[in-house]
A and B are shown apart, each in its own frame.
Chain A
Amino acid sequence: MKLGHVLESSLPVKIDLHLYGSTELKRAARFWAGKEAYYFAKEKCLAALTRTMADGDIARRVLAGLTEKERQVLGIFARYGPTVSGGLLTAELYTRGIIPPPPKNLASDSYYQAQREWRDRDPVPGLREKLILVSSYYDSYYSSYDRHRYPQLTLHPTLAQGVAPAPPITWHASHACAEAVSTGHRSSAQVGLDLWRVAEVLRSMGTWQTVKGDSPAKAARARLRKEVGLRDAEKDPMSPPDAESFYYELLHSMDLLKIGDKRSWIHQEALERHLQQPPAGQARQWVRAWLHMPLWQDGIGVVPDRDGQYDSVRIEPSGLANARELLAWALCGVAHAPSCWLHLETFLRDLWQKTRETEINFYWWNYSWDPEFEMGKKREQYPAGDQRMLAFWLAAEAVWAANAVMVTLPTLGLVERGQATGKDAHPCFRLTELGRVVFGAPEVEAAPKPVDGRFLTVQPNLEVVAYLDSADARQVCTLSRFAASASRADSPVQTFELRRDSLYRALESGMTLKEVRAFLAEHGKTELPANVERILSEWAGRRESLVLRTKTVLALGPLDSQTRGRALNNNVFLLPSSTAKIVALGFSGWTILDHEGKPERTWTTDELGSVVPDSRTSISQLRLARIADRTTTGWQITAQSLGRARQSGMTSEQILAWLGDHVKGGVPPLLEVAVRNWTSRQGVQLRQVQMLRILQPQAQQALLHSPTFRPLLAGHIPPEWFLIHDDHLSEVRRLLETLGFAIAESMDAPLVGAIQNPAKDSSPALPRIKPDRKRRREP
């Protein structure tokens, strides 16, 4: 499989000549259509340009007329796609020596002369003037006294066919690095497995809520973290921060998630297609996804999709995209150099040097891993000039780059990291074989691997030991479809377990037992143990012995001779489930019951549970038989009938839902209370109490807050009723008389329904009579 360049542009080419002014069009038309076009009106210029730019012969003539430098510029566009970002173009032009570095000495008398001469040697403005390279009209040419960066430009598509791509650039490290120790890298299968695990949890969630920028909401992130449990930067600074979210954003960036307005879900088929690709094809997509992943940032983790008003909450996304592109560009150069270890600091210094005109420049300070470069630590000691700028860069942006090179890209299996040998253990890295293929494409291709594919051992205790270095992602993901992962360590040797539920999930997702057996046999280093084979067959057999069929069509009654169906009983038939066919068959005279629709309300009931149904359909009769006893006039719901229903597992909510479905006009509230009482034994307390009624609000408050009265009161029904302990009745009477209250022996109690219960009126020190806090469930 030949890969395209990892930085290949996928932007659609859009050239709108109408956006140009008449002078610009005339200049271009003169080049494309001939000198006379300079005198054309704007519309005629547009017509001439449209015609000539579509003409293949004219395109060949245009290309033949270009200078060598101009052809070299176009070669860059042929290498990276018709559109090239300003940052990449700038780095390429300087590194290839197509233009020399701009003059820097502002204080020199000859600066302006040198600047003018330097500009005259730049082939890009001329190509833009001829509309060979076109840009978005509003994309300004960025140039200042100390930097000269180009805008994003597109090579005119008619010309793109006839231009040879520029050759790859080879990275030359300014200082060599000897061998490395403590090295480590991940296989593509490990990455694929992590991606699969995150996707599996998302799939098991079905849908989840997202926040701005399509990131998962807090609850979804917490669940991902709990159920996937990848090692992250909190435990190990050399692991990515918010590791599960990193994979989530990869899936999102690869368009494998479907993000809805309120809920999101995973595009399972597209994910499986992705995982079926060869490792290098998958890895190339991971890198391209990472390049355009704004809400997970290297060394930082998940960031919000907004910028803080006063404080920085993330690296500005366009600055980060530029930085990632330039870093990937540098690694493309590394992929074309002989494979060797690179000192991280040396590499980053070289990167700064090569990208000075379009530098990686943004503001952030707090990364999960800080390599603490010596020069960065001493930045304040450098005098103004290049060294000081480099020192400050090494203390800030280079830390981001270090996290990308030493954490993010190793996580994706593209970089191997280690420690340089010597007295100081400096971090160093090199591209893995996979990394060389991805960053070296299209020139570097994956070496054909000997086909073996035996990467696992099935043990009699149902454990599967998988050697991920010998597997690819699609094989490991297939294994994890029917075997549960038993180890969470980030190791190239992983243990899985064959479990009844894991096999069941695989079979439910469409795999067959035969496929499972064949996979284990094909990839097993040893034969499948006989007991494992037997257990797998038994588990699969159990599934076959219990079938839940949904959305079936059942005919309860004798069928005519033309209707075909499977007889479940003498009088019950399972029919083909096409609704259209049912209509065509014409079951006139039959009662149609749709189990997905609401049943007809045909029950009449009173408060005491007497039910009279108007309909005798089977569902209505079966439900009544479950919850009620038959009487001479209909049915009667009783404590005993509901006790029977409870014994068969029914809950009060289920019973009330049935009543709500069938009873005309809704369930009488008293019957609902009775159903709850009969099914859950809700108790009430009934006993004799002594009550004191005080009408004056001032006296009520005085009594409530009185240290003398408080021990004598048993409760308070706000605002005017007080409960008195039996044994304190005479004492209360004596106190009230002493305090001048006239005590009436008879009491005018209010009617039921007139009693209000403003609990806020009473003292918290006394027990209040509170309203029922259980909210009544709506039917």
Chain B
Amino acid sequence: MSRSAGEEQGGMRSSTDILDSLLPLLQPEGRELHLNAAIVEVAEPAQLVELAANPRIRRFLMARLSETVALVDPGHAGEIEAALLAAGHTPKVLTGDGE
């Protein structure tokens, strides 16, 4: 959440700042257990920025769970997969927590 001094001085925004504006971090008010949830995991925060900056993908993203994980709008796993493919991404599609 906090910016480094160098970034402040140089006027550059960190990927976290950009993500905060594009895809806010989920901050639940109570303890929740989400079943059958779909999430998107990326290797780098910059990839999440890229996805969140694309309105055709962003429309199916609810919030950020971490710097590299986003929660998908319930009931739209199929749509986000199609949107990712249409945007030229090649997502590895997995079920559950398995590899």
A residues engaging B (CB < 8 A)?
500-501, 504, 507-508, 539, 542-558, 566, 568-569, 571-572, 574-577, 579, 582, 587, 589-596, 599, 616-619, 621-623, 625, 647-651, 654
Contact among B41, B65, B90, B98 with A501 in the assembled complex (CB-CB below 8 Å): B90
Given contacts A556-B32, A617-B32, A622-B62, A549 and B26 within 8 Å (CB-CB): no
Once the chains bind, are A508 and B30 in contact (CB under 8 Å)?
no
Of A549, A554, A582, most buried by chain B (CB within 10 Å of CB) is A549
Once the chains bind, are B28 and A557 in contact (CB under 8 Å)?
yes
Once the chains bind, are B35 and A550 in contact (CB under 8 Å)?
no
Instruction: Kindly state the separation between the CA atoms of A569 and B41 in the bound complex, as whole angstroms.
Output: 13
Once the chains bind, are B97 and A593 in contact (CB under 8 Å)?
no
Tell me whether B11 is interfacial, beta carbon within 8 Å: no
Instruction: Kindly state the separation between the CA atoms of A616 and B93 in the bound complex, as whole angstroms.
Output: 31
Instruction: Kindly state the separation between the CA atoms of A136 and B56 in the bound complex, as whole angstroms.
Output: 66
Tell me whether B37 is interfacial, beta carbon within 8 Å: yes
Which residues of chain B come closer than 8 Å to A554, judged between CB atoms? Answer: 33-34, 37, 39, 65, 71
Contact among B35, B38, B57, B84 with A549 in the assembled complex (CB-CB below 8 Å): B38
Which residues of chain A come closer than 8 Å to B77, judged between CB atoms? Answer: 548, 550
- How many residues of chain B have a CB within 8 Å of chain A? 50
Which residues of chain A come closer than 8 Å to B29, judged between CB atoms? Answer: 616, 618, 621
Once the chains bind, are B30 and A555 in contact (CB under 8 Å)?
no
- Shortest CB-to-CB span from A550 to chain B, Å, is 5
Instruction: Kindly state the separation between the CA atoms of A547 and B74 in the bound complex, as whole angstroms.
Output: 17
Contact among B33, B62, B69, B93 with A590 in the assembled complex (CB-CB below 8 Å): B33
Residue of B nearest to A596 (CB): B36
- Shortest CB-to-CB span from B94 to chain A, Å, is 5
Once the chains bind, are A552 and B62 in contact (CB under 8 Å)?
no
Contact among B31, B57, B89 with A649 in the assembled complex (CB-CB below 8 Å): B57
Contact among B35, B57, B90, B93 with A592 in the assembled complex (CB-CB below 8 Å): B35
A555-B32, A618-B29 known, 9 other contacts, Cβ within 8 Å: A543-B90, A546-B84, A547-B94, A548-B81, A548-B94, A566-B97, A577-B96, A622-B63, A649-B59
A-B contact count (CB 8 A): 193
Given contacts A547-B41, A557-B30, A596-B36, A568 and B66 within 8 Å (CB-CB): yes
Contact among B44, B69, B90 with A568 in the assembled complex (CB-CB below 8 Å): B69
- Shortest CB-to-CB span from A504 to chain B, Å, is 4
Given contacts A554-B33, A555-B33, A599-B74, A549 and B95 within 8 Å (CB-CB): yes
Contact among A545, A569, A576 with B42 in the assembled complex (CB-CB below 8 Å): A545
Encode B38-71 as 1/0 by CB contact (under 8 A) with A. Answer: 1111111001000000111111001101100101
Contact among A504, A572, A587, A593 with B26 in the assembled complex (CB-CB below 8 Å): A572
Once the chains bind, are B26 and A622 in contact (CB under 8 Å)?
yes
Residue of A nearest to B23 (CB): A648
A-B contact pairs, 15 of them (CB 8 A): A543-B91, A546-B41, A546-B47, A547-B94, A548-B38, A548-B39, A548-B41, A549-B39, A550-B94, A552-B39, A553-B96, A574-B97, A591-B32, A593-B32, A593-B74
Once the chains bind, are B55 and A648 in contact (CB under 8 Å)?
yes
Residue of A nearest to B60 (CB): A649
Once the chains bind, are B96 and A551 in contact (CB under 8 Å)?
yes
- Shortest CB-to-CB span from B58 to chain A, Å, is 5
- Shortest CB-to-CB span from B65 to chain A, Å, is 5
Residue of A nearest to B79 (CB): A654
Once the chains bind, are A551 and B75 in contact (CB under 8 Å)?
no
Once the chains bind, are B30 and A591 in contact (CB under 8 Å)?
yes
Contact among A547, A552, A618, A649 with B91 in the assembled complex (CB-CB below 8 Å): A547
Once the chains bind, are B92 and A546 in contact (CB under 8 Å)?
yes
* List of 9 A-B pairs having minimum Cβ-Cβ separation, nearest first: A649-B55, A557-B31, A577-B96, A649-B59, A595-B74, A545-B43, A504-B90, A554-B34, A596-B36
Tell me whether B19 is interfacial, beta carbon within 8 Å: no
Once the chains bind, are A550 and B93 in contact (CB under 8 Å)?
yes
Once the chains bind, are B33 and A582 in contact (CB under 8 Å)?
yes
Which residues of chain A come closer than 8 Å to B95, judged between CB atoms? Answer: 549-551, 577
Instruction: Kindly state the separation between the CA atoms of A489 and B36 in the bound complex, as whole angstroms.
Output: 46
- Shortest CB-to-CB span from B51 to chain A, Å, is 8
